[in-house]
Structure 1
Amino acid sequence: MSIRRIDPASDRAVYRQIADHLREAIERHDLAPGAQLPSESALVNDYGVSRVTARRALSVLVTDGLVVAEHGKGWFVRRRPPVKRLSSDRFARRKEGKAAFTVDMEANQRRFSVEVLHVGTGQAPTEVLDRLGLPRGSEVVVRRRRYLAEGQPIEYATSYIPTDIGAGTPIAEPNPGPGGIYARMEDQGFVFERYDEETTARMPTEEEARILALPAGSPVLHLVRTAVASGRPVEVCDTVLDSAAFVLFYSLPA
């Protein structure tokens, strides 16, 4: 990576100028995904700055989601290019035995895995019960998963399903079978009508940041989906996405 000089006449802080140089090298692929960035000591020598300034420059790139710090090893370009999350067809292919996440990952040619963190009967937040049309205090089937691409967490999702639909069925098992829980609902005769999704951006909770292994200062996308089938809500899925790992793609009719 070629080193550019600091412009002493610039009104941009020195650490931000260094961060700009490193960002440009990443965008040009002079520093490819997974590549190690110059160490703090190297930046101190190359730019003639203090270690604090060098660390602040690298921290800017961490906050921007371009770089990760690995304790005891150094600073590395983040490996994960954004996944294009499809708005259409991602649920329709359950008839082929493919869950929506599988459809997205295959379309993006990504290596992926799913970790089932919890499956069981339990409580749901009041807002979820309202979306499901259930009385306060109702128990539901709860499914929590973490999704990974190239071994890195990118998505954390919790599904809430009414017990009259999920309890005592494969929906309440860690592996519900080909096509996921929606396919199992169709096995019961449910006909899906629509999926209502609400997406907001926010900072993660401490637990979400831990589960997704997020760098400090990384925002997330919070997506809440209500699946409606045969005239009733059959699932609420509360999903937290690493915002740097996804592009939300929508194709709307003219």
Structure 2
Amino acid sequence: MTVNRLGRTPMYQQIAVALRDQIDAGTLAPGDKLPTEADLRKEYVVSRETVRKALAILVNEGLVVSARPQGHFVRRRQPMVFRPQAEFRKRPFSPEMDAFVTEFSAEGREPRQEIEVAIVEPPAEVAKRLHIEPGELVAVRKRVRYLDGEPFNINDSYFPLSIVRDSEIMRPEDIGRGANEVLAELGYRQVRALDEVYVRMPTPEQAQRLDLGPGTPVGYHITTGHTADGKPVRVAISVLPGDRHVISYERQRETTGEES
């Protein structure tokens, strides 16, 4: 690995680029151990602080994990495929487990989720989408979803309290048939959903819930579900760390009888 000592790019950034190139090329494969700090200091003739700054860049990018005292390792990546269009599809979920747990258990992974339910004044972005009047409260089901022991995403669903007050939605536990079906049983079947996707940096609270390192961007997916008469009854906000997700949308072209 070569560096330009006369260039304007700091040495720690050049070392980070060199290691990143090896990871991208597969020379350093997932699970491989990086050269030790001592080896990198010797190879580049730099200080310990310079090497540590280079490694910190790769850790913050999610490419490398620190496992002291063993060293630094290339992160093993098995991203979660997030499919918003699958929300309303009927699937044979088990009575004991909801869609998330069922789907990823079938893939041989270890899913779990932490659920808490609260009655709150809605955030402005939720109140606007649910057409909530000032002073009106909502119920929120807050979930952090884990795969193989790692927090993967946040899924917080908001409902007008007036329609879910005495339902299963108020219980902090899995709903096997899903909250959407509970809403339908209450007379509020969703037939249309509006999806919005933003990319930004997480809030400090979101970074803490997901145990995110500095510099990790997130996808911010907002779904608003409407009934047949246009009433919004649910706003779900998913926070998807960029280093752990692939957002997959499926589209199908509608054809006419004249097309072959």
Q: TM-score range by the shorter chain?
A: 0.7 to 0.9
From 81, 86, 89, the equivalent of 1:84 is 81
Q: Does 1:244 align with 2:248?
A: no
- Name stretches of at least 5 consecutive residues in structure 2 with no aligned partner: 254-260
Q: CA RMSD in A?
A: 2.6
1:27-38 alignment, distance < 5 Å: 27-38=24-35
Indicate which of 190, 202, 205 corresponds to 1:204: 202
Whole-angstrom distance in 1 between the partners of 2:138 and 2:86: 28
Match of 2:159 among 161, 168, 179: 161
Q: 1:18 maps to which residue?
A: 15
Match of 1:68 in 2: 65
Q: What is the alpha-carbon distance in structure 1 between the residues aligned to residue 112 and residue 69 of structure 2?
A: 28
The more displaced of 178-187 and 69-78 is 69-78
What is the letter of the counterpart of residue 247 of structure 1?
V
Q: Alpha-carbon deviation of 1:171? A: 0.9
Counterpart of 1:219, as a letter, is: P
Distance in 2, Cα, partners of 1:117 & 1:191:
23
> Matched residues in 1 for 2:108 and 2:22: separation?
24
SS in 2 for 1:251: coil
Note closer, same or farther for the CA distance 1:135–1:19 as it changes in structure 2 (3 Å cut).
same
Instruction: Indicate yes or no: 2:58 matched with 1:52.
Output: no
Alignment of 1:211-226 (within 5 A): 211-226=209-224
More deviation, 192-201/98-107: 98-107
Q: Give the 3 Å change call, closer, same or farther, for CA 160–149 of structure 1 in structure 2.
A: same
Q: Which residue of 2 aligns with 1:42?
A: 39
Percent identity for Structure 1 against Structure 2: 34
Aligned amino acid, residue 153 of structure 1? P
CA–CA separation in structure 1 for the residues paired with 2:42 and 2:161: 63
Q: Match for residue 125 of structure 1?
A: 123
Contact 1:131 1:236 in 2 (8 A): yes
Q: 1:105 to 1:142 in 2, by over 3 A?
A: same
Aligned counterpart in structure 1 of residue 138 of structure 2, from 137, 140, 146: 140
Query: CA shift at 1:37, angstroms?
Result: 2.4
TM-score (norm 1): 0.85
Larger mean CA deviation between 44-53 and 92-101 belongs to 92-101
Q: Secondary structure of 1:31's partner? A: coil
Aligned partners of 1:170 and 1:176 also within 8 Å: no
Distance in structure 1 (CA, Å) of the matches to 2:205 and 2:152: 14
Structure 1 residue 177 corresponds to structure 2 residue 138: no
Q: Is the 8 A contact 1:68 1:215 kept in 2?
A: no
Q: Which deviates more from structure 2 when the two are superposed, residues 191-200 or residues 4-13?
A: 4-13
Cα deviation for residue 10 of structure 1 reads 5.8
* Shift in Å, 1:6: 3.0
Distance 1:62 1:171 in 2: 38
Aligned position for 2:257 = none
Q: Distance in 2 between matches of 1:35 and 1:203?
A: 29
Q: Tell me by how many angstroms 1:28 deviates.
A: 3.6
SS at match of 1:244: coil
- The number of equivalent residue pairs is 250
- 2:219–2:240 Cα contact (<8 Å) kept: yes
Question: After superposition, what is the alpha-carbon deviation per residue over 1:147-194, rounded to whole angstroms, capped at 9, x for unaligned?
Answer: 112211121122111123321111111224213211222233433212
Query: Conserved in 1, the CA contact under 8 Å of 2:104 and 2:111?
Result: no
